Chains A and B, each alone.
Chain A
Amino acid sequence: MTAAGIIQLDHVEFRYPNSSHPVLHDVTLAIPEGELCLVIGPTGSGKSTLLQLVNGLAPHFTGGQLTGTVTVDGRDTRLHPPRDLADLVGAVGQDPVAGFVTGRVDDELAYGMEQLGLPDSVMRTRIEEVVDLIGLEAVRHRPLSELSAGEQQRVAIASVLTSHPRILVLDEPTSALDPTGAEEVLAAILRLVHDLGITVLMAEQRLERVIQYADSMVRVGDDGAAHSGSPAAILEGSPLAPPIVELSRLAAWESQPRSIRDARRLAGPLRDRLRESLSLQSAGPTSGADGSVALRTEGLRVRYGAVHALAGVDITLRAGELAAVMGRNGSGKSSLLWALQGSGVRSGGTVLVYDTTLDSGAQVSTRPGRRQAGVDPRTLAPDEAIRRIALVPQNPSDLLYLDSVLAECRAADRAAGAAEGTAATLLDRLAPGLPESRHPRDLSEGERLALVLAVQLAGQPAILLLDEPTRGLDYDAKRRLGEVLKELAAIGTAVLLSSHDVEFVARTADRVLVLARGELLTDGPAQEVLTASPSFAPQVAKILRPLPLLTVDAVRAALVEGK
């Protein structure tokens, strides 16, 4: 299969400087022209490195030692730096905003062509074409900073397309996007593959979003080995699997479906069995809405200049509740969490936090009707606030500034007035075996989140807020995070998280709030809200509709019940 692939890797081994073991080890791959090839692997495996090898960023830009050969359309990347491959490979990194060179959409679209020295008339034609293809007509003259995250991602893809590359390399193109925005981006990518025959090499953590479009897959392991093959072959026995594949394993379907449509065709008998077992069961599960009130807002409003981020939101959060806020990018989720914590902007309305630890004592709860006075979190001093209400921001590394894990833990203990070692003990439960001397910057995304959680939980706050905690986490790390949050809820912490990750919310939360344009649209048990909404429904709910089941675990439990 020497000339089979437009991308050829031949016995490639790659080692970063100062690293003891290679990130990629003896990788031989051939990706044929016109395929959409999906790269999967746990966080910290060589996924991104593999992508960077294809356009020469590794090793020309990253440094490191490459053995073996990488050829792209016959060009050896060792001899061609990225700029000389720009007409052949278009690469979009994980954070599209970080790659923008200019300030406006049309300038950004032209940038690559300007570098290639194309005449003005050609640039005008190509920009017209790409604007139509990707659907950017409405925003083409706008400043890049004013676009939504989904639009920015599409501009980033469009800006490499104008150079007419034959290969598109995308690193987690939908990781920051809400389900609808992700679908728009994926539809655009699919169109390129189908209509223009572009070869796409794409890394993605959220397999449930992309699995149905893949022609082939590459799995990169922790040991640096990479296996390629058909999606069915790669997914078989892989611990990284989307719910649709897990469901197929559970139901023991002989052909493995990858799209919801295929799965629904196969799921007829399963639906019948489940319907029976569900009818045997009594009323639906009870949510944890019986705890005492931990937080209450009335008419909460947030305004930035002329933009109303939140327009009068009433929320009551109870102790022991695990709630998730969902909504499009820019619907006000982050503003809500920051306003609740007290340090964000609040333009109107009230936020009150209550001391739920008082109510847990038996003698207090014997006095019904007693209404404890709440405290506005904005009036609390920082060291008092951390013991009542903690927030983990979207970019957890913003919180960290010391040079070792241990130092961060100690600082957290001091800040929260907790006993020495509280944060370290917590961390050991969240991420066992993390070396104390490690620099926080050298941690993986999952480890860093665990550290920040430990830091923020040292004061044992009654309320925990998390802003997009699953970004960059693989299935395994997400599962562990979900378990931790459930444990916290079980001991009476009120947890409120914002997320785009439908599958994570389905597995973790027992209440879902949907925000749209700053208004609270829906507020109810996760099961009801997630099965009712087409864009926020998890895969299992889509396959088994109209049955109210969200996760593979729930299906498994229902099947056991029915026997």
Chain B
Amino acid sequence: MVDRLVPRGTVHPMAWWGWAFGIAIATTKSPGAVSTGLLIAAVVIVVAVCHGDSPFARAFPAYLALGAMIVLIRVVFHILVGIKGGSGFVVSLPRIPLPDWTGGIELLGPVSVSGVAAAATAGLALAALLLCFGAAIALTDPQRTLRSLPASLHLLGTATVIAMTLAPQLVESWQRVRRAQALRGQRVRRLHAASATTSPVLQDALERSLKIAASMDSRGYARMRAGGSALVPVLTITALVGAALGTYALMDGASPRWLSIPLLAGGAVAAVLGSMMASRRIHATRYRPDPWGLRETLITGSGMAVAALALFGPTGGSQGAAGWSAVFLLCAVVAAAPIPIVVAP
């Protein structure tokens, strides 16, 4: 029998996360809308070609819609309360000053082309970040992603898996109770109906979570070995501080580069050490772990290359809505690299 446990062509989930993370870093360095758009196009094409058939893959269009919403909301807010200025006035809306205690915020005011374009560009940058996240989810089955977490995160991973299976169960039990209560023949006020449904559904959810907890406990969940290390919390905090400061330094163009890289690297080392020490206490193993091969390295590598190009490549090109640079065209091409890797037999 053909073993369909890991379908042919399935890539290690962490490879996709690495790829998406690299592109997400690149989008923050994008000079403007055109460059960001190129990256988004690359991401969308990769998802369209490489996605599996999990329900999460089918949800990717929702991320696209959400991205569009973000751009729209950003523009609407700019028109409503944004600080106006720039060139090319199009509409002259009346200014409505708010009371003094708001700190001098004005509603509406003259709207300019460049202002709207800048707002849209900023919205697009946010949307791009969101789409990278959505792409990683669409390309991997989150349950499998959680399975490949290190042992120290195992308990957290299991809890997340359960939370994810519980959500559809809640919806199902909500529908069941609603249907059952219609049987009683009551014509009730809407508020009353909501409370009548909520109480059995919550009871149901509570009972279900107790049952699943009992089942997990009796099957050995959270069996611990003796002896933890006091170093683990210290390392965890070091890792967090390193990651936070390093990321800030990396994203903020003003801070020196020599500061950011060592901070990030130091944080990463602390995280790995802490995780390894914490893992020693938990004696759980993985059934058929996903293998990491050349494909995975190439996919993650392409994401990292995009990040490196954006961070260290030659700067230049125009800013704003027309923000265009040759480096980002190259970035987009590299970002699409997983397509031949996955499609190739």
**Chain A residues within 8 Å of B, Cβ to Cβ:** 55-57, 60-61, 81-87, 89-91, 93, 95, 98-103, 106-107, 110-120, 123-124, 127, 141, 159-160, 163, 338, 341, 343-344, 381-387, 390-391, 393, 395, 397-401, 411-412, 414-416, 441, 455-456, 459
Contacts and interface: CB of A to CB of B under 8 A. Distances in A.
A388 to B, nearest CB: 10
A95 B220 contact: no
B92 interface: no
Contacts of A114: 284-287
Contacts of A110: 287-288
A240 to B, nearest CB: 26
Contacts of B145: none
Cβ-closest 3 pairs across A and B? A386-B185, A86-B220, A99-B215
Contacts of B189: none
Given A114-B284, A124-B288, A86 B183 contact: no
Q: How large is the interface on B (under 10, 10 to 19, 20 to 34, 35 or more residues)?
A: 35 or more
A141 B285 CA distance: 20
Contact of B285 (A102, A107, A120): A120
Interface string B261-301: 00000000000000000000001111111000000000000
Q: Is the interface of B mostly helix, strand, loop or mixed?
A: helix
A95 B211 CA distance: 9
A98 B205 CA distance: 10
Contacts of A84: 223
B214 A160 contact: no
Contacts of A441: 203
Given A83-B218, A93-B214, A102-B161, A415 B186 contact: yes
Contact of A86 (B5, B207, B214, B218): B218
Contact of A455 (B184, B214, B215): B184
A89 B179 CA distance: 39
B177 interface: yes
Contacts of A90: 218-219
Given A87-B220, A456-B183, A115 B177 contact: no
A124 B288 CA distance: 8
A385 B284 CA distance: 55
A120 B181 contact: no
Interface of B: 4-5, 143, 158, 161-162, 165, 176-177, 179-187, 195-197, 199-200, 203, 207-208, 211-223, 283-289
Contact of A98 (B195, B200, B211, B289): B211
Given A61-B213, A401-B197, A82 B218 contact: yes
Contacts of B211: 93, 95, 98-99
9 contacts: A83-B218, A84-B223, A86-B223, A98-B207, A101-B221, A115-B284, A117-B283, A120-B287, A399-B180
Contacts of B186: 382-383, 411, 414-415
Contacts of A393: 179-180, 183
A343 B179 contact: yes
A117 to B, nearest CB: 4
Contact of B217 (A57, A338, A401): A57
Given A57-B217, A120-B288, A411-B186, 17 more contacts: A83-B219, A83-B222, A89-B218, A93-B211, A99-B215, A103-B165, A106-B287, A116-B223, A117-B283, A117-B285, A118-B285, A120-B287, A382-B185, A391-B183, A395-B176, A455-B184, A459-B185
